[in-house]
Amino acid sequence: MVKSIHYLRGIAALFVVLFHLRGYVNNTYVQSNLGDLLFVNGAFGVDLFFVISGFIICFATQKKEYFYPLKFFIRRFFRIYPLLILSVSIYFIFLTIKKGSTGLDSWFIWSIIPLQIDYHAGAPFFGYNVLAIAWTLTYEISFLYYLSCIHDYIPQV
């Protein structure tokens, strides 16, 4: 069952990619709104991806006889966080090469903090990160944190 869920998660990711391609399609073909017509519902893939990911994480924690929430959170956090730091660092290295600036400003610092919450910025991004896609990590790490905190209070199914 879980294997087929992973396929569905791949389809959800494909929906997101197609949604992002709509701008290119709109500017390429004679019918200027073709991308919007074809891929307008592609953003649904983000919601589906989050729901499936949450299910898989919960499923993985339920099948273990002994679950240690802090250990789980730390392990998952360090699967995600080093890649975030690497990605942001590479971005700032290229920015430094291209623009000649040091690149190590406050934006860099805010970008490597995985819980960048600025409620003055618009949802779902909530500001700060230079990598636009990193907004998803804020939600994933928050989910992992809250799941770790409440796991022992969730009845076993």
Q: What is the pLDDT of residues 97-151, one digit of tens each?
A: 877 666 566 677 777 776 666 666 666 656 667 777 777 877 888 888 888 888 7
Retrieve residue 62's tokens: 């339920």
Residues 156 and 143 in one domain: yes
Bin 63: left if φ > 0, else alpha if -120 < ψ < 50, else beta: alpha
pLDDT of residue 157: 47
Count of C-beta atoms within a 10 Å radius of residue 121: 13
Domain termination residue (choose one: 42, 63, 84): 63
Retrieve residue 23's tokens: 């701008």
Residues 39 and 82 in one domain: no
At position 37, the amino acid (one-letter code) is: L
Residues 57 and 101 in one domain: no
Confidence (pTM): 0.68
